């Protein structure tokens, strides 16, 4: 079974998206038999995170990186460690959120190219460089509105259905929703494709939810996800709570439809197997 490191790009802060807010994911993966380590970023005297800077030589098979920072989330050594880890075959999930939240991911070479932000590596279509979610005034584009936190969003599985989006022979139908998701696309190089898309509830625009990357150079497989909220306790069950700066009212759609939680758990199970 793979050894999985769940990691945020911020040091622990009770009023932020620290690693404890991904406990349901951690427990789900552990229940499947995986060895799971979950940690926030912790910088040493040189400003580097030992887990990430030393990742290439660590007893870890997969990195699930939640880029929840608002700037400076990865040092040069952290980035080099992640790139070297993937180069030796390690699997990587990278996920972020709206605007420039998690823009440190763009420093991860070819893997970072899958993520688009407000100020760096913007979406190439100028028509998409505009607000989608009109409700939260302090969040700018990319900010695709897939629904309330705690709600479920219907997903379109891109044909042919990728193994990540199948529960047996059944295509998955639901991801957790979020009021302002980020932007991802399939970068050049290797074999990369968009595997799932959603529809904005604000504008009706389709947008990408997940990109699967299978390189041709021996590097590890990777997935770029539009928002870390697909994996967050609060989005699986709002009763888990959230930081005080979250102002949008939540929904109970995930709780009302048990299939929605089943689908995201199946997706996480598939991620651990595929990466």
What gap in Å lies between CA 221 and CA 146, rounded to an integer?
Answer: 27
Which residues touch 110 (CB under 8 Å, ≥6 apart)? 187, 189, 190, 215
Q: Which of 140, 84, 144, 129 is nearest to 111 (CA)?
A: 84
For 44, counting Cβ atoms within 10 Å of its Cβ (0-12 exposed, 13-18 middle, 19+ buried), the class is: exposed
Predicted pLDDT of residue 275: 97
Percent of the chain with pLDDT over 70: 99
To the question of pTM greater than 0.95 for the whole model, the response is yes
Q: Which two tokens stand for residue 91?
A: 């699997």
Predicted pLDDT of residue 113: 96
CATH code of 99's domain: 3.40.50.880
> Residue 77: pLDDT band by 50, 70, 90 thresholds?
very high
Q: Provide the number of structural domains found in the chain.
A: 1
Predicted pLDDT of residue 188: 80
Q: Which of 75, 106, 93 is nearest to 36 (CA)?
A: 93
Cis peptide, bond prior to residue 142, ω within 30 of zero: yes
Average pLDDT, whole number, for the chain? 97
- CB-CB contact of 134 with 202 (8 Å): yes
**Block residue for tokens 């605007």:** 99
pLDDT tens sequence across 14-73: 999 999 999 999 999 999 999 999 999 999 999 999 999 999 999 999 999 999 999 999
pLDDT tens sequence across 205-215: 999 999 999 98
Predicted pLDDT of residue 1: 87
DSSP 3-state of 123:
coil
The range of the structural domain enclosing residue 248 comes to 3-274
């Amino acid at each position: 079974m793979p050894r999985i490191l769940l990691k945020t790009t911020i040091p622990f802060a009770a009023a932020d998206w620290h690693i404890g807010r991904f406990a349901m994911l951690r427990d789900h993966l552990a229940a499947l038999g995986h060895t799971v380590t979950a940690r926030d970023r912790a910088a040493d005297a040189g400003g580097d995170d030992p887990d990430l800077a030393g990742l290439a030589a660590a007893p870890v098979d997969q990195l699930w990186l939640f880029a929840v920072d608002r700037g400076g989330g990865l040092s040069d050594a952290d980035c080099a460690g992640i790139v070297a880890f993937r180069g030796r075959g390690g699997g990587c999930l990278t996920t972020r959120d709206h605007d420039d939240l998690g823009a440190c991911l763009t420093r991860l070479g070819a893997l970072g190219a899958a993520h688009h932000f407000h100020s760096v590596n913007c979406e190439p279509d100028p028509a998409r460089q505009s607000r989608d979610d009109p409700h939260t005034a302090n969040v700018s584009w990319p900010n695709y509105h897939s629904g309330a936190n705690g709600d479920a969003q219907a997903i379109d599985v891109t044909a042919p259905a990728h193994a990540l989006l199948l529960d047996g022979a059944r295509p998955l139908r639901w991801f957790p929703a979020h009021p302002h998701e980020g932007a991802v696309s399939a970068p050049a190089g290797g074999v990369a494709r968009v595997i799932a898309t959603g529809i904005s509830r604000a504008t009706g625009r389709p947008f990408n939810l997940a990109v699967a990357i299978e390189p041709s150079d021996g590097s590890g497989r990777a997935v770029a996800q539009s928002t870390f909220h697909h994996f967050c306790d609060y989005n699986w069950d709002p009763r888990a709570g959230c930081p005080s700066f979250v102002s949008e009212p939540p929904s109970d759609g995930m709780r009302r439809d048990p299939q929605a939680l089943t689908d995201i758990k199946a997706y996480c199970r598939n991620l651990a197997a595929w990466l």
